[in-house]
Amino acid sequence: MTRSTLRITIIGLNYVPEPTGNAPYTASLAEGLAAKGHVVNVITGYPHYPEWKPKDGYTGWTRREILDGVKVKRLRHHIPRSPNTAQRMHMELSFGLRLMCSRWGHPDVVLVVSPALFSSGLGILRARLSPNRPAIGIWVQDIYSRGVVETGVGGRRLGELMGRIEAWILRSADGVVAIHERFQKYIVGSLGVPSTSTRVIRNWTHLPFAQVARDDEMRAKLGWTADDIIVLHAGNMGQKQGLENVVATARLAAERHSKVRFVLMGDGNQRKSLEEEAQGVQKVDFIDPLPGNEFQQALAAADVLLVNERPGVKDMAVPSKLTSYFSAGVPVVAATDEGSVTASEIETSGGGIRVDAGDPEALLDALEHLSSDPNRSRQLARNGLEFRQVTLSKTNAIAHYDEFLSSLASARGR
């Protein structure tokens, strides 16, 4: 083993084959670090997201796999049927307790992925108590405490409690990576993490470039006509997304006899209630998640890609779908609060337009205006592709993580 080769253990509740959320990034990072010659091990949970049920074929108390050159150890944990705050905490703690009792080997550096916050905390505690004390980094994908408040699942007091816990966990690591400058500002300014131990490394797109021309063959396969203005929302259907706004906009589109047609592709704990709410609404369809190439083909076949957030969601997360959207050669419309992280990303990329969250009329107006202006649509799509190439480069991101983890290990003499 050369001096530059590290034994790296990545710990996160989610991993492939989960198609959305943190899982694709964790897997992509593990594979990228392994390709650079590091010995990479992943300790993760059993796949369950976004359906919130165990994936078929994954049985047993512990499971070991080798996926694209990465050794993956899966620990069975509680999977809630109704993922409210208490049930999510139960899931995270059950995974965290399995982490505490599991064999890790002797890593030089451990990188934990948050969320899940509580299992991350237990993972950090286990690493700090280890006799060989590896270097510890934490990768912040969402601001957990802000999510409790902004999604409406908890009030101010619960948010403050979660903030204190989150601050303690982040300060317990040797280094913190945030995926956006706004996250870093909050982590330092509100959670009290030293700025010297934080850095920003953006998430990257894990999809190759798509063809810029509309994919008519895929449109036909999905039953979309040439006259339809297809507005596609891909990914999780949860509280944060506030997709009731899309159903209301689809109802308005039907009343106007608009050509706009919404497609919600994916799964999540709100899908069933959304389908019930959308009964009888002709302008909205639901389709299951699509695998790999078909997913990208569906994005490229749409006329507009939609990000929708419930009012009040501002600081908790950067929608992971944006990294895929900007690869599709399709303009983006974001229904989100002014000043939100998502709004900032749309403005910075130049790849889309923003309308207020929770305003069906404003959303439908924006979609109809954009569909009537093909030159603007093409320019937004080009901007998104350029942003993807320059800012969301996987090669650059993996190189930054390689340097980050190496610096943590070096600081501890590993």
**120 and 194 share a domain?**
yes
H or E, element range at 10 = strand 7-12
209 in any annotated domain: no
210 in any annotated domain: no
Q: Does 360 sit behind a cis peptide bond, omega within 30 degrees of 0 on the bond before it?
A: no
314 in any annotated domain: yes
By residue range, what is the domain housing residue 243? 216-390
pLDDT tens, N- to C-terminus, the chain (414 residues) = 444 799 999 999 999 999 888 899 999 999 999 999 999 999 999 999 888 888 999 999 999 999 998 999 999 999 998 777 788 889 999 999 999 999 999 999 999 999 888 999 999 999 999 888 999 999 999 887 777 667 666 667 777 888 899 999 999 999 999 998 888 998 999 999 999 999 999 998 866 655 555 678 899 999 999 899 999 999 889 888 999 999 999 999 999 999 999 999 999 889 999 999 999 999 999 999 888 788 889 999 999 999 999 998 876 667 788 988 998 989 999 999 998 989 999 999 999 999 999 999 999 999 999 999 999 999 999 999 999 888 888 898 999 999 999 999 998 776
Q: Radius of gyration of the chain from Cα atoms? A: 21
What is the rounded CA–CA span in Å between residue 387 and residue 89? 36
**407 and 262 share a domain?**
no
H or E, element range at 325 = helix 321-325
325 in any annotated domain: yes
Structure token pair of residue 48: 């369950």
Q: How far is CA 164 from CA 111, 146, 159, in A?
A: 21, 12, 9
How many Å separate Cα 48 from the centre of its chain?
A: 15
H or E, element range at 111 = strand 109-114
What is the rounded CA–CA span in Å between residue 143 and residue 340? 13
Strand partners for 239: none
What is the rounded CA–CA span in Å between residue 308 and residue 409? 40
Phi then psi for residue 53, to 5 deg, are: -155, 150
281 in any annotated domain: yes
Query: Over the stretch 145-185, which tens digit does the pLDDT of each residue have?
Result: 777 667 666 667 777 888 899 999 999 999 999 998 888 99
353 in any annotated domain: yes
**224 and 185 share a domain?**
no
Q: What DSSP character marks residue 182? A: H
The percent of residues above 70 in pLDDT, for the chain, comes to 94
**251 and 343 share a domain?**
yes
333 in any annotated domain: yes
CA dihedral 32, 265, 237, 87 (to 10 degrees): -60
State the burial class of residue 64 (Cβ atoms within 10 Å of its Cβ: 0-12, 13-18, 19+): exposed
How many domains is the chain partitioned into structurally? 2
CATH number at residue 350: 3.40.50.2000
